[in-house]
Structure 1
Amino acid sequence: MSARSEVRTALIDIAPPALAAVPIGFLFGAIAVSKGLSPAEVALMSMTVFAGSAQFSALEQWAQPAPILTLAFGTLLINCRHILMGASLTPKTRQFTPAQRFLGFFFMADENWAMSERRASQTTLTPLYYFSMAIFFYLNWLVWSTAGSLVGQLLGDPVRYGADFAFTALFIGLIAGFWEGRSTAATVLTSAAVAAIVYAKFGAPWHVPAGALAGITAAYLAAKPRACRQDGKGALNVA
């Protein structure tokens, strides 16, 4: 595939998640300003953290003065899922140099991770494809979160427009792309149930690692090889 085709394919693939991230970024910027952050601080946070769920969680715990250790710990807990995401992508990035892989994983978000996994299942995941997609998504988040901080308050409460559901809708779309029947259903339902219970009992950010661990456990149990039995001819049959 030519370089131009590779870039074009990457941008086409990431366009739907990037479009879905527009109201999410806008909502984040508007809420952040209402918490006392300046537009410059919102932009700096999006540039350096670049993790929507962690940034929203930080806003839930935001106070004056900011509880730095609490915010850092919460961000660490939520972003621990990137360890698993990075581990799953590492064997698929053999064409990357160590520096490209290190930098590329900074730009990794749930959305471009999902697109990378899908790409790797079809063909080779190249640095050009990955960075074209990932940097576009990064800039998209930076632009719209900053825009939300600048003009979001002029529009009033963004929740009345349904912007708060955009996050949910985006992740439903990502899950649908990986759907494999009962095993996926068991993983998603278990993770969602545990996350909801933990959120109700303990609040953010504990629901994220709890839901992740529950989902991993459910996925493992659902994927365990089924028992095999021998038939009369000595052949192994799946039970």
Structure 2
Amino acid sequence: MDTDDSPGAAVTFDREGLRTGFLTCVPVAAGVGGYGVAFGVLASQAGLSVAEAALMSATVLAGAAQIVAIELWADPVPVAAILTTVFAINLRYSLMGAALQPWFEHMRASRVYGSLFFLVDENWALTMRDLKSGSGRGAYLLGSGIAMWVFWVGSTIVGAFAGGVIGDPSQYGVDFVLAAVFVALAVELWDGNSSLVPWLVALGVSVGAAAIVPGQWYILLGGLAAAVVEVIRFDG
């Protein structure tokens, strides 16, 4: 258990936080599992074996990045293009990690980095809500992340096995699952009118950047713009 006299002193790392995070995230993870099936299908159609698709999901754990990587897959594999694109998409995790820093700064490095391995958009949102409530559950991120990992990898395997049968997953509306999950999480993260300005800035910048900048950089640019706005507002 990690304790200290500083503002992060109330943050602990125990089985209760791990269990709460896991159980709370199961419904969200189950929903994201539909997106995992879609990835497994696409991976199978791109020529990846079930084991290869499962290994990618187990080690990358980033749905949007994995889908884009599969869309770029070819023979020979365009390694540079895939790495650059995936890097751009996943840069947002640096902002998400920074948001967790006030609670995690006094935890052991092994616990922090072990938890951050399982960081995805959905369990980050749930963890931020939980920590802001004053729960002090430092293990919440790890517990919720394990739930996401189990369902993501499991659904990838299901999709990879069914790849030759399902066909195009978008015809079943599976591609909308992730958008629906994000809408639900956005409602949970809404903090009144104070949330409106950074959200609108992120929306405007990302939409504008998507029309101008190639690739997936609009995701990062929207997040950075919102972060800058928040820093300016609080410093002011």
CA distance in 2, matches of 1:131, 1:86: 13
CA distance in 2, matches of 1:23, 1:99: 32
CA distance in 2, matches of 1:162, 1:210: 28
CA distance in 2, matches of 1:63, 1:194: 32
Note the C-alpha offset of 1:188. 2.8
Query: Partner of 2:166 in structure 1?
Result: 155
Q: 1:124 aligns with which of 121, 131, 136?
A: 136
Distance verdict in 2 for CA 1:140–1:224, change over 3 Å? same
Query: Partner of 1:44 in structure 2?
Result: 55
Query: Partner of 2:189 in structure 1?
Result: 178
- 8 Å CA contact 1:81–1:212 kept in 2: the answer is yes
Deviations 1:17-55 (A, max 9, x none): 212201110111111222222222111111111111211
Distance verdict in 2 for CA 1:56–1:204, change over 3 Å? farther
Q: 1:20 aligns with which of 10, 17, 31?
A: 31
Query: Partner of 2:224 in structure 1?
Result: 213
Distance verdict in 2 for CA 1:15–1:42, change over 3 Å? same
The share of aligned pairs that are identical, in percent, is: 32
- 8 Å CA contact 2:206–2:219 kept in 1: the answer is yes
Query: Partner of 2:85 in structure 1?
Result: 74
TM-score of the pair, normalised by structure 1: 0.82
TM-score of the pair, normalised by structure 2: 0.83
User: Where do residues 1-239 of structure 1 align in structure 2 (5 Å cutoff)?
Assistant: 6-93=17-104, 96-122=107-133, 123-127=135-139, 129-220=140-231, 225=236
Matched pairs, number: 223
Query: Which aligned runs of 4 or more in structure 1 are off by greater than 6 angstroms?
Result: none
Deviations 1:62-117 (A, max 9, x none): 22211111211212111111112112212213563211111111111111111211
Pairwise CA RMSD: 2.4
Structure 1's unaligned 5+ residue stretches are 226-239
Radius of gyration: which is bigger?
Answer: 1
The one-letter code of the counterpart of 2:88 is L
CA distance in 2, matches of 1:210, 1:169: 22
Structure 1 window deviating more from structure 2 (192-201 vs 72-81): it is 192-201
Secondary structure at 2:162's aligned position in 1? helix
Distance verdict in 2 for CA 1:184–1:57, change over 3 Å? farther
Secondary structure at 1:90's aligned position in 2? helix
Structure 2's unaligned 5+ residue stretches are 1-11
Higher relative contact order (CA 8 A, sep 6+): 2
Structure 1 window deviating more from structure 2 (197-206 vs 70-79): it is 197-206
Distance verdict in 2 for CA 1:133–1:51, change over 3 Å? same
- 8 Å CA contact 1:77–1:206 kept in 2: the answer is yes
Note the C-alpha offset of 1:138. 0.9
